[in-house]
């Protein structure tokens, strides 16, 4: 489908907006977008009198009739694995379904990646296309770099980033899922670290990250964190991403405190100016994203309050991954009457109780870590209503923010709107949910029909065809 250029702009009519004020939320609006931003907003006197046409009726659509559907900020995947989605058929049958098995069968599939570049590319393209059709216009895409896959995942990711740049901002995060230390006896990092260093130098890479919990020891896990900060400083990378504290073990040490301690040692003392430490230039603190963090679910009220104080002035954002976390965590409680606990960060509760906004993201789709679900970020909100028992208007707004504004903040996007309702001069990145006139209905029962707008241009649309026997 051909879309309009930025210069021509678009006008969205008969659209509802997620105002808190019920009177404003009940109105239909006309929103004009020019040069990638919201130019004007005005309430309409009557619904259904628009001259707008369907985007399928015009090869260069400039008028969109939302027909009373609600418009939200576009969605954002703040944590998704571009290379490991849709590989469940390459992993064989799951026997235990636990983390160790997932690592094993995924490792076997990964070994084939370098010889299956076309498959890597097309699976990644499917992730991007389906995500945009659901309303996603930005994502942090983790691509693994290690001795098994080499740079094959990175090469595919960078090509996808370029090929789909008009439809979606694909932020490439080079990521070490495998240990940086080869064994408990190794004092120095191995080849995985060297490969990650090289990958972080590639044009188009803006994030470096790791999973410290896979290291052979807790000391090596802490050194893993140090090494990631070293790469960020030496390569002038402004964002780091840790998959951290992925357990529900009360006896494990929460490594979030190690991240905080290292940040304060490395960056806070220099207050944003360059300093030299150990022969390396240390610049301003990068933005830090913490994925999973299920261990924090075991924190007491006092521990949460202390954590909120500790991170209050630091650029740290947590990302909960409910589809993966709930599926994978708490298996030690399998034979107990109530089964596994809610092993994922309680997004609305933590925001309201401690003032910490948490993003949510899809993480994986159709692989051994997350066999179920789709790439639709809104489905996470629906799922979370039940998991968190959260259906009040305040809860629903918190959940929606987690897959839109908070997720965009987590990946370092700038000029993020202040609220779910647009304002003049906000970026014109939206999703229209046709057939859903309220935020509550959109979250509790998401629709199929959607229109995705990026930088003031229509980039995707989904329409269903229905038939009912007379």
User: Tens digits of per-residue pLDDT, 130-169?
Assistant: 999 999 999 999 999 999 999 999 999 999 999 999 999 9
**pLDDT digit string (tens) for 203-237?**
999 999 999 999 999 999 999 999 999 999 999 99
In this prediction, residue 6 has a pLDDT band, given cuts at 50, 70 and 90, of very low
Say if CB 416 and CB 429 are below 8 A apart: no
- For 332, the enclosing helix (H) or strand (E) is none
* Residues 337-351: tens digit of each pLDDT: 988 888 999 999 999
pLDDT computed for residue 4 by the predictor: 37
Please report how many Cα atoms fall inside a 13 Å half-sphere around the Cα of residue 154, on the Cβ side: 26
**By C-alpha distance, which of 141, 137, 142 is closest to 168?**
137
Predicted TM-score (pTM) of the model is: 0.92
What's the angle, vertex CA 397, arms to CA 396 and CA 401, rounded to 5?
Answer: 120
Phi, psi of 38 (to 5 degrees): -75, 120
Smallest CA-to-CA distance from 239 within 78, 360, 434 is with 78
Give the pairing of strands 239-244 and 205-210. parallel
pLDDT of residue 344: 96
Nearest Cα neighbor of 213 from 337, 100, 86, 333 is 100
**Of all residues in the chain, what percent carry a pLDDT higher than 70?**
92
Among 397, 399, 350, smallest CA distance to 378 is for 399
**Total residues belonging to the chain:** 470
Structure tokens, 269: 């003392």
């Amino acid at each position: 489908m051909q879309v309009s250029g930025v210069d021509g702009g678009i006008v969205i009519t008969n659209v509802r907006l997620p105002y808190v004020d019920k009177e404003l939320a009940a109105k239909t609006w006309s929103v004009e977008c020019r040069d990638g931003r919201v130019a004007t907003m005005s309430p309409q006197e009557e619904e259904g009198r628009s001259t707008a046409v369907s985007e399928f009726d015009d090869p260069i659509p400039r008028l969109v009739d939302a027909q009373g559907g609600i418009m939200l900020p576009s969605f954002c995947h703040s944590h998704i694995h571009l290379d490991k989605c849709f590989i469940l058929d390459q992993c064989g049958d799951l026997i235990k379904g636990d983390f160790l098995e997932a690592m094993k069968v995924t490792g076997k599939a990964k070994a084939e990646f370098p010889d299956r570049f076309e498959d890597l590319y097309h699976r990644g393209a499917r992730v991007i296309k389906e995500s945009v059709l659901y309303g996603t216009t930005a994502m942090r895409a983790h691509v693994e770099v290690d001795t098994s896959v080499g740079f094959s995942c990175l090469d595919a990711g960078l090509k996808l980033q370029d090929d789909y740049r008009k439809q979606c901002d694909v932020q490439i995060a080079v990521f070490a899922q495998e240990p940086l230390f080869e064994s408990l006896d190794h004092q120095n990092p191995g080849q995985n670290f060297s490969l990650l260093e090289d990958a972080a130098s590639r044009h188009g890479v803006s994030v470096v990250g790791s999973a410290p919990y896979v290291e052979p020891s807790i000391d090596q896990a802490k050194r893993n964190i140090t090494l990631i900060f070293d790469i960020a400083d030496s390569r002038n990378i402004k964002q780091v991403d840790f998959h951290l504290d992925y357990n529900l073990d009360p006896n494990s040490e929460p490594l979030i405190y190690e991240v905080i301690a290292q940040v304060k040692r490395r960056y806070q003392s220099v207050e944003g100016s360059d300093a030299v430490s150990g022969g390396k230039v240390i610049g301003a603190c990068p933005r830090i994203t913490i994925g999973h963090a299920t261990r924090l679910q075991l924190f007491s009220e006092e521990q949460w309050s202390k954590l909120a104080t500790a991170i209050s002035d630091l650029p740290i954002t947590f990302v909960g991954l409910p589809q993966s976390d709930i599926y994978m965590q708490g298996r030690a409680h399998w034979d107990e009457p109530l089964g596994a606990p809610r092993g994922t960060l309680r997004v609305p509760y933590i925001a309201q109780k401690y003032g910490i906004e948490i993003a949510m993201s899809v993480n994986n789709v159709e692989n051994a870590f997350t066999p179920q679900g789709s790439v639709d970020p809104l489905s996470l909100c629906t799922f979370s209503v039940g998991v968190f028992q959260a259906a009040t208007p305040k809860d629903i707004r918190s959940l929606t923010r987690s897959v839109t504004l908070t997720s965009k903040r987590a990946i370092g996007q700038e000029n993020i709107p202040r609220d779910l309702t647009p304002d003049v001069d906000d970026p014109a990145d939206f999703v229209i949910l046709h057939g859903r006139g309220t935020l509550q209905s959109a979250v509790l029962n998401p629709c199929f029909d959607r229109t995705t707008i990026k930088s003031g241009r229509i980039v995707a649309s989904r329409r269903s065809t229905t038939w009912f026997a007379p």
